[in-house]
Every structure is written in C-alpha cells, then in structure tokens.
Structure 1
Amino acid sequence: MATYVLCHGGGMGGWVWRFLKPLLTQAGHTVYTPTYTGFGERSHLISRDITSATHAKDIANVLKYEDITDCILVGHSYSGVVLPAVKQAEPDRIKRIVYIDAIVAHAGQAPGVAIGFMPPEQAAGIAAMLAKGEGPIGSGVDQQQREQAKTEPHLMTPERQEWLLAHLSDMPLACLVNPVPAGAETLGANVDYLAVRHTIMKPMHERARALGWRVHEFEGDHAIIVGNPGPIANFLLGLA
C-alpha cells in the first residue's frame, strides 16, 4: 500500500481533497491532507511573515513527525513552489513527486512572478514593504476567485462550485512575492505533471516539459481535483 501526501493550492486547505481522498483510501492507501499555516482552519495564523518557506516546513514536519517514508508527494497549484523545498529538507522520505496544474518556479523567483501576476521589481518592492510590517497581510485570492467564477464558472456542478467557493480563505501575500527557497529545477526529471486543458497555468506546462518532466494531459479546469477527481485519482493509484 502507498502513502500519499496531498498539498493544496492558494486560498484552499486540506478540505479541498474531500472528493479525491476517499478514492485513494477506499483502495487501502494512507492519505495525509495537511493545511498550510495561514490557510483554511489555520487561517487565524495568517501574517506578513509567512512565505512558501514556512509552508515547506509545514510539510517537512508532517513527514518527520508522522514517520512518513516512501511517500508520493502531490502538489496542486501554489504547492508547486513548496514541493522542491520539501524534497530538499526530507529527500529520503519521498519516493515520487506529482504536480497537478501547479506553478513551476525557478530558483530566485517569486511565485507571483513565475505565474506572470507581476514583474520582479514589483514583487521585490512588496516583499520589502511587508518585511517592514507594512501593507496588506493577505493577497485577496479568495475574493478574486469568487468574482472570476461569476463570469467563468468552474467545470463542475453549481452545488459543488458553491461548496468550493464558500470554503476559500485568503492567503498570505508574502507567499507570492518572496523568492522560493528551492527551484523546480532541483527536482530533476523524475516528476509527473498533470496538465489540464482549461487553465491559466499553460505556461507552467511548458516549463515542466522544458525540465524533462513527464506531462500528462487531462480534460478539465484548474479545480479538477474538486470538479472531476476520478481521473486524477486513477492516475495516482497507478503509481502505487
């Protein structure tokens, strides 16, 4: 039996795996769905000091204190910038890494820059402001996603989209503007990237291919883990 550690995206939390996790556990596998500091049920901890390095420590500590070995480490969306640092911290506890429509950031890049939200100079300026204890704590990603869904609904039932949007929380702005502690290039070529057709992450798909990663294409949108988790679960089960 395999052990999966599922890492969520921006504005989300461990709750977002509600529909995918049972598809793995029913097959007899062990699944962990941690929530990053400042997200979801830990949203009361949001602060200007939280970066992707904090979240890499969150996951590395889960691996350490749960005595996890030979796990399949899975990252959706924002988690793409976290997983390389987790691998760097706990290399012997990870057997395989899977990205699900996730950000591919190189060393020294801020996540917001990697995905094209802002130029490097703007990210550096915001990071300096936050370091002085000034500026907004959150990025507003939860409200942005709710507004976008009004004109561009997710590929899922209205009921499931309502559930998804209701559970979103803000994320620390510092996560987007501070450089990542480890770049995706440090992972080598043994990475599977699950790319969906309807997404703003297409430039990330090309970055994954340029790194020599195995890119697998799926019909769906960025919230496929909620809207249509079956094909993703089947792929993950195939790695067990």
Structure 2
Amino acid sequence: MIRRRGSLKAASAALAGAMTAVSNTGIASATDKLRTFVLVHGAWHGGWCWRRVADVLRAHGHRVFTPSLTGLGDRAHLFSRDISLQTHVEDILSVVETEELSDLALVGHSYGGLVISGVANTLRERVSRYIYLDARFPSDMSPGASFSWSDFDTPETREARLKSIHEQGKGVAFPPSPPSAFAVTKPSDAAWLQRHLRPMPVQTYIGTFTFKNSGSDGLQRTYIAAIKPPYAALVPTHNRIRNDHTWSFTTIEAGHDAVVTAPDKLASLLMAV
C-alpha cells in the first residue's frame, strides 16, 4: 500500500508538471477558450495555403477547417465555367451545416472576403466573428444590392484581366497571378505557390451576387490589413475602414499572402481576435 501511495503521488506530480509545461509552451490549457475557425482562402489558392496557420491554431487546441472552394486546390478536378461566387458561398455554408458548427470565427482572405460576406447573408449571428484578412468586401450589403468581383478593379485593370481570360484562359478561366503579386519572394515559398495556384472560373470574376439580407453589416467583424508591403489595390480599403466604428481594425507586418509568409504572426492575431 505504501508503494502504491508513493507511485500515485509521483504520477500526480508528473501530471501537474506536464500540465505546467504545456501551459508554458502556449498550448491551450483547460482554462483557455478554445475556438472553431473556418479559414477561407483567396483567389487561385486552395485550402492547402492555410497549412502553416492551421498547424499553429491546432497546436493550441483550436478546431480548424480549411476547405478548398470548388474548382480550386484539391477540388480543381471539379473546375467548370459555371462555378460562381454563389457556388463558393454554398461551399462554406455546406461546411458549416455538415459539421454542425456555431459560435465560429469565419476568416476570409482576399477574394475570400467576398465569399464570407455572402455567407454572412445567410448565417448572420451564427458566426461569432467575421474576420477579413487583407480582403475585398462590398461597400453596399443592403438587401437587393448586387456586386461583382470585377467591380473592384479600375477600368484598365478590368480590361487587362478580361484580355487575359480570353487569350490565356480561353474565355473560361482567369489565370493566376505570379507569387510575387502576393508579396511572396522567398524561393521555396514561391515554388510552393507556383505548384498549387490554379485558374479561377470566369464567372467568379464577371458574375454578380445579390444580397437578400445585409451581409456582414451590423455583425461582429474585424479587418486585418497586411501592411509590409501593402497590396496597392487594397490601400483605399484600408484607409476607408481604419476609423469606421462598425469595424474592429488591426494590421499585420507582412505582405498580402501572410497565410504563407507570416503564419505564426497571423495565427497569434486570429487567436487574439
């Protein structure tokens, strides 16, 4: 009996030490609030691009989903010219419904900001916070308002992109930009993107989406602006909402593809939000 008590005390001490060590390394303890994250990638990317961020979040005990939108990533074999922004909105709605998620943080990067705005049109408060990571979002989300991804481009940029779609994408695909366009310069990271970037279906660029409710207007939402270096096309967006009281605004010292180049910083920000 004495030996057994001694063994029990030793085991208890070891367990307490292990829990302290886990807490000190930043892994979630029983007192931490564990969250559910659904991470929505940007144009030409796939769920694969969140790998490094997801690894950090999961190491802290959070539940993480990184779906690929139809026609991209591991779902590139489903590519079709008929795939639209509405299709991608339904992709994310399906994840939430199938996994029976609620009280989640929904993160949209770049083009993914348009997607989560459409998702908010349906889910509303079922999502605890909408997080826009250096993302596009419609300025008007009132019921009946419509928008197209192409609306965000200058006439010159739109013309150049449509020309690329017709010449390189044969009228059905929007060819990907090079890794350098996303401020990815490290050779190994650029090579990783180059291997996995895929064309966007043309309707995601020229098709329209119409709000039935109010998108993410009036809901808990945060904007994370990538500022080192800033993505030139998004600087007006950053400036517009920096002092908008309907948004929580913060920055990350990384380029547009912070999901690739600054995963630890980004994961820390997401957990802080």
**Which structure is higher in RCO with an 8 Å CA cutoff and minimum separation 6?**
1
- The aligned amino acid for 1:196 is A
Superposition deviation, residue 211 in structure 1: 7.3
* Contact 1:17–1:226, Cα closer than 8 Å, also in 2: yes
User: SS state of the match for residue 90, structure 1?
Assistant: helix
Superposition deviation, residue 43 in structure 1: 1.3
* Contact 1:11–1:39, Cα closer than 8 Å, also in 2: yes
Structure 1 gap segments, 5+ residues each: none
- The aligned amino acid for 1:65 is T
Q: What residue is the counterpart of 1:21 in the other structure?
A: 54
Matched, 1:77 2:77: no
Q: What residue is the counterpart of 1:154 in the other structure?
A: 183
Structure 2 gap segments, 5+ residues each: 1-33
Q: What residue is the counterpart of 1:205 in the other structure?
A: 238
Residue deviations 1:190-235 (CA, integer Å, cap 9, x gap): 3100001121321222343457312212211111110011121111
Q: Which segment is superposed worse, 90-99 or 76-85? A: 90-99
What is the aligned counterpart of 2:223 among 168, 193, 202? Answer: 193
Q: What residue is the counterpart of 1:178 in the other structure?
A: 207
Matched, 1:238 2:267: no
Superposition deviation, residue 117 in structure 1: 6.2
Q: What residue is the counterpart of 2:121 in the other structure?
A: 88
* Contact 1:84–1:182, Cα closer than 8 Å, also in 2: no
Question: Within 5 A, what are the aligned runs for 1:46-57?
Answer: 46-57=79-90
Percent identity (aligned): 31
* Contact 1:75–1:98, Cα closer than 8 Å, also in 2: yes
Q: What residue is the counterpart of 2:152 in the other structure?
A: 114
* Contact 2:119–2:215, Cα closer than 8 Å, also in 1: no
CA distance in 2, matches of 1:42, 1:155: 24
Superposition deviation, residue 45 in structure 1: 1.6
- The aligned amino acid for 1:53 is Q
C-alpha spacing 1:178/1:153, structure 2 compared with 1 (3 Å): closer
Q: What residue is the counterpart of 2:10 in the other structure?
A: none
CA distance in 2, matches of 1:193, 1:29: 21
C-alpha spacing 1:56/1:117, structure 2 compared with 1 (3 Å): farther
Q: What residue is the counterpart of 2:5 in the other structure?
A: none
* Contact 2:47–2:66, Cα closer than 8 Å, also in 1: yes
What is the aligned counterpart of 2:194 among 165, 172, 175? Answer: 165
* Contact 2:182–2:257, Cα closer than 8 Å, also in 1: no
Q: Which segment is superposed worse, 93-102 or 103-112? A: 103-112
* Contact 2:68–2:75, Cα closer than 8 Å, also in 1: yes
Superposition deviation, residue 113 in structure 1: 1.4
CA distance in 2, matches of 1:41, 1:90: 26
* Contact 2:124–2:215, Cα closer than 8 Å, also in 1: no
Superposition deviation, residue 58 in structure 1: 0.4
Superposition deviation, residue 70 in structure 1: 0.6
C-alpha spacing 1:64/1:182, structure 2 compared with 1 (3 Å): same
Q: Kindly tell me the number of residue pairs found equivalent between the two proteins.
A: 224
Q: What residue is the counterpart of 2:18 in the other structure?
A: none
